[in-house]
Amino acid sequence: MKIRIKFAKYGTMKFIGHLDTMRFFQKAIRRADIDIKYSEGFSPHQIMSFAAPLGVGIESAGEYLDIEVNSYTSTELMKQALGRVMVDGMDILSVKVLPDTVKNAMASVAAAGYQISGSKNCLDQISGTETADLFALENLAQKLEAFCAQEQIPVTKQTKKSTIELDLKPAIYELSLKETPSPFMGREDAALKTTAIYMLVNASSSGNIKPSMVLNALCDFCKIPFTLQAYRITRLETYTSAEDAFIPLEDVGQDAAM
């Protein structure tokens, strides 16, 4: 049986890289005593697939991993069992059973939504000064519109071997300014409402766009220097495409009991 787990990763946990997050869940699943399926062979490993790797330094309220299990009692009990073995900054949000025909998490991903706000932690311990950022601009909403209205948004992407030219425009599905609360409701600074940039971009394995690339291009467009640490980036949700709409990955599955 395929199970889809949705989790949040925030606070200090944003410094844990993708591979270490995988290791964390392998151990957590053993601690929670989940009857996970193992692969065949001399060194069997847990059957587990993560949706979209999250960069170090980015928080998320919409991370996913799929596992296969031999048995379970109910998705609710599994959610509780996993919840008990988490650490601060890692929360289990939902556990769903998937139809057998569903593609694995990684292959399903189509898009991701991000919230970008000014970082409270932008006071620079190194230079001791506050870094200029987009939110200091008076007419940011108009700038965003103008940015999106361009025919092309060309950027250069540095890969290990070469630099490639890329047009961001078709990969940006939405870019706007929103008054939003922190997504980590009841966990931290929930009362804090901030003006934030919302972006919905391509996150599929073939056309993934990093939010920092869009931010960088936006800063260039607004003619201000780009400092990554001046922004707090949060992935809000990871989507798959269903007919002609994006739906959250968790909506493919359902609650169930055996």
Partner 1 sequence: MVKNLALSDKILMQVEKPARYIGNEVNSVMKDAWKVDVRFCMCFPDIYEIGMSHLGIQILYSMLNSWDDVWCERVYSPWLDLDAILREKKIPLFALESQQPVKNMDFLGITLQYEMCYTNILQILDLSQIPLQAAKRRECDPIVIGGGPCSYNPEPIADFFDLFYIGEGETQYRRLLDIYKENKKAGGSRLDFLQKASELPGIYVPSFYEEEYNPDGTIKGRKKRYDKAPDTILKEIVMDVSDTYYPTKPVVPFIQVTQDRAVLEIQRGCIRGCRFCQAGQLYRPVRERDVSVLKQYALEMLRNTGHEEISLSSLSSSDYSALDELLQFLLQECKEKHINISLPSLRIDAFSLDVMSKVQDVKKSSLTFAPEAGSQRLRNVINKGLTEEVILNGAALAFEGGWTRVKLYFMLGLPTENEEDIRGIGDLSNKIAALFYEIVPKDKRINGRVQIVTSTSFFIPKPFTPFQWAKMCTKEEFIEKAYQTRKGIMEQLNQKSIKYNWHEADVSVLEGILARGDRKLANVILYAYQNGCMFDSWSECFHYDIWMSGFENCAVDPDFYTVRERKDDEIFPWDFLDCGVTKEFLLREWKKAQSEDTSPNCRAQCQGCGANRFGGGICTQERDTAVTGPEKGTLPTN
Q: Which positions touch partner 1 (CB under 8 A)?
A: 10-13, 15-17, 20, 23-24, 26-31, 33, 38, 42-44, 46, 56-57, 85, 87-89, 119, 121-126, 187-188, 228-229
DSSP 38: B
Q: How far is the CB of 201 from partner 1 (least distance, A)?
A: 21
Token pair 């556990």 in the structure block, residue: 95
DSSP element (H, E) containing 82 = helix 75-84
Nearer to partner 1, 91 or 237 (CB): 91
Q: How far is the CB of 71 from partner 1 (least distance, A)?
A: 14
CA-nearest of 239, 7, 14, 214 to 119 is 14
What is the Cα–Cα distance from 35 to 56, expressed in whole angstroms?
A: 30
DSSP element (H, E) containing 220 = helix 211-222
State the Cα torsion 152-109-101-30 to the nearest 10°.
170
Q: How far is the CB of 14 from partner 1 (least distance, A)?
A: 8
Token pair 């009857």 in the structure block, residue: 35
SS (H, E, C) 146-164: HHHHCCCCEEEEECCCCEE
Q: How far is the CB of 191 from partner 1 (least distance, A)?
A: 14
Q: How far is the CB of 87 from partner 1 (least distance, A)?
A: 6
Nearer to partner 1, 126 or 191 (CB): 126
